[in-house]
Amino acid sequence: MNSLHLHIYISAEEVAKEFALHLKDKIEKKEGLFSWVLSGGSTPKLLFQYLAEHHLMGFPWEKLQIFWGDERCVPPTDSESNYKMTYDTLLSKVPIPEPQIHRVLGEENPTQEAERYGKLIQEKMGGDLPQFDLVMLGMGTDGHTASIFPHQMELLTDKNLCGVAQHPESGQYRVTLNGPIINAAKEVAFLVTGISKQEKIYEIFREKEKAKVYPAAHIAPTDKLHWFMDKAAASKW
């Protein structure tokens, strides 16, 4: 059974700041490389900007090993690319060793890339079901997380490390980590902000039966689960 930790702050900017401090503390306490799985979205963008602006605060960049929880199947130069957003806001500004940054090749065939990325994770992390130090997730207004959408709940239990998802409206393909490897992490942290998320937050924490159709509600790591939220997201709850 995991231990649940709730963190509620006044604004999205405060969420970014406090998570940055939480991350720094976790990295400093670990010997060797610290594996951090990134997500896309507006709140991670605030986090990356904060980290880049405060990168002289003794942040142990050299200890980070970077992976992604999901990626849109677009080239790394595309404005929709999670990698591009991360590179522009963070990776181009801080000294993380290049060999420790492992992007999803969104420009490749989705099925083949899901298989390749899964093998890369095993190669870098070891084990049949590698254990990341920290998986950072967001949540969409439909309750999806990573790129596991409500119409593809089977990805929550898929034994492959990575899978191919399809956005329910645009039809865009994405490569995503599947549920088992997310839940195997030593720590999972949701970063959720904004009034548009309040209904799903309420249902996940107060009406759990209703929330069973939301992939985010099924993220249950065996160790630590954190929810970092602003007051807007938590306002109904």
Domain boundaries along the sequence of the chain: 28-219
- Provide the 8-state DSSP code for 18: H
DSSP 96-127: --GGGB----TTS-HHHHHHHHHHHHHHHH-S
pLDDT at position 56 is: 57
In the predicted structure, residue 180 carries a pLDDT above the cut 80: yes
Dihedral sign, CA of 160, 157, 136, 45?
positive
- Provide the 8-state DSSP code for 89: I
pLDDT at position 3 is: 86
**Contact between residue 69 and residue 44 where contact means Cβ atoms under 8 Å apart:** no
* Percent of the chain whose predicted confidence (pLDDT) is above 70: 97
Query: 28-219: which CATH architecture?
Result: 3-Layer(aba) Sandwich (3.40)
- Give the span between the Cα atoms of 6 and 163, in whole angstroms: 29
* Residue carrying structure tokens 């999803």: 104
In the predicted structure, residue 237 carries a pLDDT above the cut 90: no
**What's the pLDDT tens digit per position in 47-69?**
999 999 986 568 899 999 999 99
pLDDT at position 58 is: 81
pLDDT at position 208 is: 82
What's the mean pLDDT in 39-49? 95
Q: For 3, list phi and psi in degrees, rounded to 5.
A: -100, 125
In the predicted structure, residue 33 carries a pLDDT above the cut 80: yes
User: What's the pTM?
Assistant: 0.96
* Percent of the chain whose predicted confidence (pLDDT) is above 90: 92
pLDDT at position 1 is: 56
Instruction: Grade residue 166 by pLDDT with cuts at 50, 70 and 90.
Output: very high
Amino acid residing at 90: L
Q: Which long-range contacts link 194-198 to residues 24+ away (Cβ below 8 Å)? A: 194/12, 194/42, 194/230, 194/232, 194/233, 195/232, 195/233, 195/235, 196/141, 197/139, 197/141, 197/229, 197/232, 197/233, 198/232, 198/233, 198/234, 198/235, 198/236, 198/237
- Give the span between the Cα atoms of 72 and 125, in whole angstroms: 23
**What's the pLDDT tens digit per position in 208-220?**
888 999 999 999 9
Smallest CA-to-CA distance from 162 within 115, 126, 127, 129 is with 115
